[in-house]
Structure formats: C-alpha cells, structure tokens
A and B are shown apart, each in its own frame.
Chain A
Amino acid sequence: MISLQNVSKYYPAGFGKTYVLRNITLDINEGEFVSIMGPSGSGKSTLLHILGMLEEPSEGEYLFFDQPVQKLSEKRRTELHRNYIGFVFQAYHLIDELTVYENIETPLLYKGMSSSERKSRVAELLDRFNMVAKKDLFPSQLSGGQQQLVGIARAVASQPKVIFADEPTGNLHSDHAKEIMDLFKKLNKEDGVTIVQVTHSEVNAEYGNRILRLKDGWLESFQVPSLERE
C-alpha cells in the first residue's frame, strides 16, 4: 500500500543542503500498525508528512496504492486526503470556531456527503467515542484527552484507509494516553485501518506490530514484530 524507494529530504542551507531524511526505503502493508521512533530532530515528523503527502520528497519515489505520488495533480492528491488519509496531531488542532459536532462533520462536507448521511455518520461516531453529551461544546471547553478523542473521531470520520498520527499522546497524561492507544489498537484490529504513529514512548510503540527507528535521517533498524502481545 505504501512504498518508499530511496527517499531523501533536504533543505537548502547556506551554499549546500542539510539532509533531514536519507535514502529511506520502506514498505507498509494494509492493516499494519507501525510506530516511528527516534530522538528529537531525527526527521520523524518529516517522514510522516511525506507519507501523508503534506510535503514532497526531494529525491526518490513514493508509491501510494501503486500510484506514483510525485506525478499526482493537486486535485487528485486532495481526493486522496478526502477518502484515504486521516491525520491526528499532538496539539489536537481542532478548529476553534466549530463545535465538536461540526469539527467531526467538516471532513464529510469535503467528501461531498449528503446531509442525512452526514448526520447519521457523526451521530454514530459521537456514540462510539462517548461524546454525545459534548457535541455542542467548543474545543476550548474540553480537556486535552477529550480534544484528542474528537481529533481521532474526525480522522476516522471519512473512513480512511490509513491514519497518520504525530505524537498523538504527547500532550496527555498516561491514563489518557492509554485510552487513546487502545482506541487506535481497536481501529486497527476491528476496522482494519492502517495506522502509522510517531511516538517517543516505548510503551506506546509496543502497540504497533512494527517499530521504525530513525537517527539523523537514517532508518536505523528494522525490527521484526515480537508477535502477538496481550
């Protein structure tokens, strides 16, 4: 489903360039739960952005469902964002001017769903995430953990094939973090959503079936899954 071939990313610096990612070759299959780890500044977010098509690689090739991403038009890429990809952020990044309900509804609007379909889909999500009572509140009226729940609900609303999560629990206490990670696990297991997360926590990384370690832009090790946990 995702395949990187010798992907590098660099930024111009002075007369030369600084590499952030070097020669990354990587395959992620449908249904996987992948954790990316590494020290700060090692290029984790950059890699996730490239995977999520928010940034373009400087070199190398990226195939998403066998389509070369570099050749896609803006329109086509936007379509992929609408239908295949969901994002979850460390800072939640909800739209402050919209209520919980409306935040979850927004991606469905872009997808062009009819109003009745939207209603039932949002209602279903609110129910599933236990947010029904909070649906008319604004993000500023929620706790961090609740905001992240909304963030995830929003990410899964359009039923994406893959969710990219950049330190989704970075700002949360461990109780909340566990709740969120369990949720990811469930999504991965029950709905078959592919999940790629960036995390600093070994515990959270263990939720995945595979851990990628980045160091100075290099993909350092390739750890074979420790089979089933639990």
Chain B
Amino acid sequence: MLRNYLTIAWRNILKDKFYSLINILGLTIGVTCGLLLLLYVTDELSFDRYHKKADQIYRIVSYITEPDKINKWQSTQPPLVTSLKRDYPFVENYVRFFPNGRVAFRQGEKRFYEEDVYAADSTVFDVFTHKFIEGDPKTALARPGSVVLTEKTARKFFGEGAALGQTLRTNDTTSYQVTGVIEDVPRNSHFTFNALLSLSPNERKADGWGGFYIVSYLVLPKNFDTSILESKFPQLYDKNMASIFKRMGIKITYQLQPLTSIHLYSKLDGEANGDISYVYIFSAVAFFMLLLASINYMNLATARSAKRSKEVGLRKVMGSLRSALMAQFLTESVLMTVLSLLLSLLFVALLLPFFNSVSGKEIQFRELIQPQFMLIALSIVVFTGFISGSYPAFYLSSFEPATVLKGSFNAKGGSFFRKTLVVVQFAISLIMLICTWIVYDQLNYMRDKDLGYDREQVLTIDYQDRQPRDRYNRLRSDLLANPNVRSVATASSPTSNIGGRVIFGVESNAGLKEMGFKPMGVDHDYLQTMGMKVVAGRAFSDKIPADTSNGVLVNQAAVKRMGWKEPLGKKVLLGGLPQAGQPAPPTALVVGVVKDFHQQSLYMPIEPMIMLYRPNNAVMHIKIDAKNADKTVEFIGQKWREIYPDHLFEYRFLDQDFESAYKADELRGRIFTAFSGLTILIACLGLFGLATFTTEQRVKEIGVRKVMGASVSSVVLLLSKDFTKLVLFSFPIAIPVAWYSMDRWLQHFPYKTDIGVWVFVLACVLTLLICWTTVVYQSIKAAIANPVKSLRSE
C-alpha cells in the first residue's frame, strides 16, 4: 500500500512541476535555514560541555555591594578558593587563573606578543580537560618557571618541531620552560588562553583579601546543593574582609555559577557572553521559517484540492477508509519534505562558510552529519511534513464521493483557512522586517552617537612596561615634528574602555564621605587631543605641575552624583579617608568639570569619574590627519623603532576598538537580516503559487469580463485586490507584536534609539510593494491573454 502511495506521490510531483517546484523550493529554504539555525543553537548550547567534570565545575564570582551600586565581577581575591578548600572537605578541587595580560615572549630571534596569558594553579588540568599533544598533564605546571602552550602558540615559535623542553624568555630576564603543548582551547569555551604559566612566587604567596583580580573555579561533588556553600559566605566576610571593607559600607558575597551555564546565563560586569534569549529567539526564527514553508504547502495543497477531489471520491468508493486517505496525503507531504531535506543538506554544506562568516561561528560540516544531529534534523523534517500535510489530508479526505463524482464539487471550501494562513505568513514576515530594521537602527545609533569626544583618527599604543615611558617626551616631540600628527597625549587607559573603580574621600554636602569613582590618569594634552570639553573651571596644564597632587578634574556625572551646586574647589582625598595612625592622604581640589563622555561601550552608562594629572601614562593617544593616514602611521612606527628598538610597535585605532564592542550584536543583527529576508522570500513564493493558481481558476471569468469590455488595468486591479486585502490584514497583527518585542529588546541598552513611526510605515509599504510585485506578474499575464482562447476551451 505504501508503494502505491509513493508512486502516486512521486507522479504527482512530476506531473505538476510548477507546483512541486514552489513547494520544494519553499520547504528547502525553510529547512536549510532551520538546519543552520539549529546548528547555531546547538553550538551555543555546547559551550564548556567538553570537560569531563563539566557538571561539577563552578566558577565563583563576586558580588560587591557599595552603598549606591552593586558590582558583579568575574574576579575574586586569591585566597578565596584556597581557604574554601582548606575549610570545607566537600570542596574537591580548585584552580585559579592569574591574568598576566599580554606577554612578550622571546625565543632566539623570534618575538611575539601573546594575548590572554594566565598563570594557573598546577591543578588546572585536573579540573579542566585539555588534550595534551606533548607533555604530561599531571606535572606540567607543578614546577615554577613552566609554561604550557596551545598548539597555535607553539607553532609560532617552534614550527613543526618539538616544543617540549624548550625555553621561552619574557622581557624582564625571566624564562619559562615549555612543559606541555595542548590543543587550542575549543572555541566553544567561555574562557580562553594562549599560554598558561606556573604561578610566580608572588602569585603563590598572594593572600590579600582586598584585591579582586583572579578567576577562580571549584570542583564540587556531583549534584551538590550549592546553597550549602553559599550559606558560608557571610562568615567568610566577617572573618577575612570586614576589617577592610566594612567602614566603606561595602558588602561582599559570592555566587557559584555552574560551568555549563556561564556562556548563556552569566551577565557580570564587562562580560561579553552568549545570551540564552538569543537561543530562544533563533529557535523561534527557525520554527517560524519551517512554519512558513508548511503554510505554503498547506495553501497550495488545499488550493489544488479540486484537482484531487475525484481521486478521493474514487478511492472512497473502492473502499478506502478516511484514515487511509489521510495516510496517503501525509506520505506525499513527508516525501516532499524529505526531498527538500536532501536538497537542504547540500545547501547547508555550500552555505556553511558564508554562514560562519556572518555569524562569527566556526561550525564544521562534520558537525552536521553527526548521527545525533541528523536524527534531530530528520525528526524535525518529518514533523514539518506532518504539519504541512495534516490540514490538506484532513481537508481532502473529507470530500464526499457522491458530491465529488456527481461533478457538483467546487473548491470554495478551505479558502477562509487559506486566507488566514496568508495573513499569518505576512504578519510573521512583517514582524521580522520591522525587528531587523530596529536592530539596525539601534546599532547605527550606537555607532553614530556623539561620545563626547572625537574618536576618529586616534591611534592608541599601549606601553606594556614602565621603563620605556622615560623616553616618551622625545618620542612626542619627534612625532609632532610631522605636520600630519596633530596631537599626542597619554592616559592611564584607552579611551574606548576606561575600567576600574577606586575609593576616594570626597567632600559631600554632608561632610567628607568615601565613594567609588572611575579613576583616570591623564596628561595636560589629553583633553585637547580627544576633543573633550571643559564646562567649568580649567583643564590641566604643564604650567601648573602642582596639579599632580593638588588638582583633579571631575565629570558632570560626578557633580550630579555628589549634588554639588558649585563643584570647583571641592575637596578630594586621593586615597580614601585618613586612617588612625597613618599619614593623611594628599588632598586635592576640583579645578575643572569635564563634559560627560562615554567611558566604555554604550552598553554601559556614564559613571562618575575623577581625572588625575599624571604626566606619563601607559597608553599613548596620537591624533593624526585623515589625509595620508597610512604614511603617518608608517612614520610613527619608524620613530617608535628608532627610540624603542627592543619593543614591538603595536597600535590600534580607537574607533575600531570602540566598534568591536558591538561585534556580537552586529553578528546577530546580520543573521537576523539574512533570515528575515528569507522569511519574506518564502512568503512570496507561497503567494506567487497561490496567485498563479487563483488566476488559473479565474481565467474564464477574466475572459468573460474582457469580452464585455474590461480594461487590462481593471483586471489587474481585480486580481491584486484580494491579495492586497490579506496583506493589509497582517499589519494590525504584526505592528503591536513587533513594537512590543523591540521595546523589550531595547530595554537592554542604557542608550537607545527611539522607535520611530516611520519604521512601521516604511516596513508596511515595503511589504505591500513586495506583495504586488509578486502578484502583478500573474495578473498582467492573465489580463493580456486573448479571451477567446480561454472561453473556447470549454
């Protein structure tokens, strides 16, 4: 029986090629997108699961509550996990990562900067699972002066040769012996590094509870109730931290994050992670694309029902049960979807490189043909086939043989359902269109927003070490000799990312108080170099060197937070309130107020800030002319190498740095755009098929109308009218949904664009235009056809 169904299904596919093409094309687009999104989602869900103890590892993070602010930091103090391990036997293991930032390694003549270098406890390879290419995980970081390299790093220095036992030297006369090479940290990891050092003596000894700068992980028993450990944190605070933080009104507690939930759920300060809501959003998009393709199928299948009605009647007369007929129609739709699955696999393979570049993932084709993934894909596809086929099956199998065979059958039935489906399709497409539009609006808004400074054509160079800074003045005057170098300055951090927070004693309206401010050391050229404005008082000047200890600048946010009416002359104690038995910290006065500028990406609000006058800071800012920029950069490099022959010349452009913060959102924006475009395409395919079909059905009516003198345009209008109505119906459904969801999405941003009415208007107009283009071809074709032909064929 199944063979008979398959034969009929196959012959039907071949018989009406146009109809099959539209259906298979729609389903293929839907299934291809569905598979790609499924790959994306699977990848997002796979983060950190490759560790053997993934379900037992927890990251411990700090919640630092200041009187007016809660900070959530990824870092903790060094002695935290060691003391937990000592005090609580259920703590099975721990590992700490001490960030060493960017390290310049030297091996003979070869010198490279390695980003993301950490020193780690020797337990690191007990806790995390990394595959060793060379060396022994048990002993790799046991001895001081050891380094474990990732494969990529090892290749850089040693090529294809063995790295084990070789020596790498860092700038400051210390050297490390390579004790292991591991495979590169998989990209589905929340945390990545290029080299791990064994702890330095200082790091080994570190026992201060005042500084939060290391990342800590614990291994706890399986299915451990984390609240048991969390309940111990108040005691820990009282015992170790109260003496330092209590008088500042700072409370500290910790949170245990299961390793596998970090990537999608953790939202700590400055953390750029995945986001579970995007997993939901993309799953929903995948679902909608499949739904749209199914709707196409349902629409076309029911629209064509008249063609199948006779067969239904006959089969019933020959003794077919309704259920058998439903099975037959379902076989057809499932066959159709399975065909499109095969095509889709081909497309996915072809599109994968493109998808990776759009999404920033590195998904391999072999991940696609994993049996597990194929099983999911197949079940989704069969399910799609069932959904697509269910209504047509239900509808078609309901025909009464007596009616059908008498010939008094008309295909009017189901047309309400069909219209509803078209409205749903266009509503979904319109929602996607509006959302994409607003996402792009927001991204552009962030990119174009006035940051309060001029970020174009500014090079930043990070002095890695203290010692070369001596020669800064020479470099500065050499650079300024070039007319294309407009200005040179230094600051303690790059302007695109001013982090940190320091406690100052400040004069408030109720006496001296301790409060946290964003600190920044700048020289007298800085404000002018960056084009920042002073709104009250004056800037720092090399004529007033005493400002280094006597004067500070604050930003407007600081003035607002302190509630100062007259900010100039207010006292700022550089180092908190005086403590009994210690020399009083230097007291400076506010000499100027800087207009607010953005200190980090626009995901972060502007914070109160205190600028200190420091003539010689770590990050050089060089403003150059737009014209001849390449030459100027070359010139700067040449001067740099003259003055610092031992140091690599590495620079960044401030605006690029700034924009890199939006990469994740931009990538997601691009995926979203691609898929909303395809959603519209699927909907249009369906509409095209439906339009073709209805015009076919009305050929005779059109012929009669034309014989009676109807003009071409009136016929086109007649045929387009119905579809226009359907698209218009989708507007009131789509607009509120799109508005509501985008309003919620924008809540994530402290600085956001307004949702303009024109976005909705334009999106609606665009949708209508697309719909007309789709329908008009068929209508015109029908309208200009010779009426005699269609009438004679009866």
Pick the residue among A45, A82, A91 that contacts B318 (CB under 8 A).
Answer: A82
* Chain B residue contacts of A107, Cβ below 8 A: 318-319
Q: Are A110 and B324 in contact (CB under 8 A)?
A: yes
Binds A, one of B6-14, B36-44, B216-224, B735-743: B6-14
Binds A, one of B69-77, B277-285, B400-408: B400-408
Given A54-B401, A97-B311, A102-B4, A111-B319 contact (CB < 8 Å): yes
Given A49-B402, A106-B4, A97-B319 contact (CB < 8 Å): no
Given A49-B402, A54-B402, A93-B11 contact (CB < 8 Å): no
Given A93-B310, A97-B311, A81-B402 contact (CB < 8 Å): no
Check B15 for interface membership: any CB of A closer than 8 A.
Answer: yes
Q: Are A79 and B319 in contact (CB under 8 A)?
A: yes
- Min C-beta distance of B11 to chain A, whole Å: 4
* Assembly CA distance A45 to B401 (angstroms): 13
Pick the residue among A52, A97, A105, A158 that contacts B12 (CB under 8 A).
Answer: A97
Pick the residue among B12, B318, B400, B405 that contacts A110 (CB under 8 A).
Answer: B318
Check B761 for interface membership: any CB of A closer than 8 A.
Answer: no
Check A201 for interface membership: any CB of B closer than 8 A.
Answer: no
Q: Are B4 and A97 in contact (CB under 8 A)?
A: no
Given A49-B402, A54-B401, A74-B322, A93-B7 contact (CB < 8 Å): no
- Min C-beta distance of B794 to chain A, whole Å: 16
Pick the residue among B7, B8, B319, B401 that contacts A82 (CB under 8 A).
Answer: B319
Interface residues on B, range: 20 to 34
Check B315 for interface membership: any CB of A closer than 8 A.
Answer: yes
* Chain A residue contacts of B407, Cβ below 8 A: 91
Q: Which residue of A lies closest to B9 (CB)?
A: A97
Interface residues on A, range: 20 to 34
Check A27 for interface membership: any CB of B closer than 8 A.
Answer: no
Q: Are B4 and A109 in contact (CB under 8 A)?
A: yes
* Chain A residue contacts of B405, Cβ below 8 A: 54, 89, 91, 93
Pick the residue among A96, A98, A105, A110 that contacts B319 (CB under 8 A).
Answer: A110
Q: Are B319 and A81 in contact (CB under 8 A)?
A: yes
The digit string for A70-94, where 1 denotes a CB below 8 A from any CB of B, is 0000110011111100010101011
* Chain A residue contacts of B317, Cβ below 8 A: 52, 54, 81, 87
* Assembly CA distance A82 to B315 (angstroms): 10
- Min C-beta distance of B15 to chain A, whole Å: 7
Q: Are A78 and B8 in contact (CB under 8 A)?
A: no
Check A136 for interface membership: any CB of B closer than 8 A.
Answer: no
Check B1 for interface membership: any CB of A closer than 8 A.
Answer: yes
* Chain A residue contacts of B315, Cβ below 8 A: 95, 106, 110
Q: Are B1 and A95 in contact (CB under 8 A)?
A: no
Given A55-B402, A95-B311, A75-B8 contact (CB < 8 Å): no
* Chain A residue contacts of B11, Cβ below 8 A: 97-98
Q: Are A93 and B406 in contact (CB under 8 A)?
A: no
Q: Which residue of A lies closest to B319 (CB)?
A: A82
* Chain B residue contacts of A98, Cβ below 8 A: 7-8, 11
Given A49-B402, A55-B402, A106-B315, A97-B321 contact (CB < 8 Å): no
Check B314 for interface membership: any CB of A closer than 8 A.
Answer: yes
The digit string for A113-141, where 1 denotes a CB below 8 A from any CB of B, is 00000000000000000000000000000
* Chain B residue contacts of A54, Cβ below 8 A: 317, 400-402, 405
Q: Which residue of B lies closest to A138 (CB)?
A: B11
* Assembly CA distance A54 to B324 (angstroms): 18
Check B320 for interface membership: any CB of A closer than 8 A.
Answer: yes
Q: Which residue of B lies closest to A154 (CB)?
A: B318
* Assembly CA distance A131 to B156 (angstroms): 80
* Assembly CA distance A111 to B405 (angstroms): 22
Pick the residue among A45, A75, A97, A102 that contacts B406 (CB under 8 A).
Answer: A45
* Chain B residue contacts of A94, Cβ below 8 A: 314
Q: Are B7 and A81 in contact (CB under 8 A)?
A: no
- Min C-beta distance of B14 to chain A, whole Å: 9
* Assembly CA distance A107 to B315 (angstroms): 8
* Assembly CA distance A80 to B317 (angstroms): 10
Q: Are A110 and B314 in contact (CB under 8 A)?
A: no
- Min C-beta distance of B627 to chain A, whole Å: 73
- Min C-beta distance of B407 to chain A, whole Å: 7
Q: Which residue of A lies closest to B1 (CB)?
A: A109
* Chain A residue contacts of B7, Cβ below 8 A: 98, 102
* Chain B residue contacts of A111, Cβ below 8 A: 319
The digit string for B403-443, where 1 denotes a CB below 8 A from any CB of A, is 00111000000000000000000000000000000000000
Q: Which residue of B lies closest to A45 (CB)?
A: B406
The digit string for B51-76, where 1 denotes a CB below 8 A from any CB of A, is 00000000000000000000000000
Q: Which residue of A lies closest to B317 (CB)?
A: A87
* Assembly CA distance A91 to B405 (angstroms): 9
* Chain A residue contacts of B12, Cβ below 8 A: 97
* Chain A residue contacts of B311, Cβ below 8 A: 95-97
Pick the residue among A45, A55, A95, A158 that contacts B314 (CB under 8 A).
Answer: A95
* Assembly CA distance A81 to B320 (angstroms): 8
* Chain B residue contacts of A55, Cβ below 8 A: 402
Q: Are A75 and B321 in contact (CB under 8 A)?
A: yes
Q: Which residue of A lies closest to B12 (CB)?
A: A97
* Assembly CA distance A108 to B319 (angstroms): 10
Pick the residue among A83, A91, A110 that contacts B320 (CB under 8 A).
Answer: A110
- Min C-beta distance of A83 to chain B, whole Å: 8
Q: Are B15 and A78 in contact (CB under 8 A)?
A: no
* Assembly CA distance A219 to B320 (angstroms): 32
- Min C-beta distance of A106 to chain B, whole Å: 6
- Min C-beta distance of B536 to chain A, whole Å: 86
Q: Are A78 and B314 in contact (CB under 8 A)?
A: no
Pick the residue among B310, B319, B406 that contacts A78 (CB under 8 A).
Answer: B319
Q: Which residue of A lies closest to B307 (CB)?
A: A96
Within 8 A of B (CB), among A13-60: 45, 49, 52, 54-55
- Min C-beta distance of A52 to chain B, whole Å: 8
Within 8 A of B (CB), among A166-186: none
- Min C-beta distance of A157 to chain B, whole Å: 9
A-B contact pairs, 14 of them (CB 8 A): A54-B317, A54-B405, A78-B320, A81-B317, A82-B319, A91-B405, A93-B313, A93-B314, A95-B8, A96-B311, A97-B11, A106-B315, A110-B315, A110-B319
17 additional contacts (CB under 8 A) given A54-B400, A91-B405: A45-B406, A49-B402, A52-B317, A78-B320, A79-B319, A80-B319, A81-B318, A83-B319, A87-B317, A94-B314, A95-B8, A95-B315, A97-B8, A97-B15, A106-B4, A107-B319, A110-B318
Please provide the 6 A-B residue pairs with the shortest distance between their CB atoms, ordered closest to farther: A82-B319, A81-B319, A54-B402, A107-B318, A97-B11, A110-B319
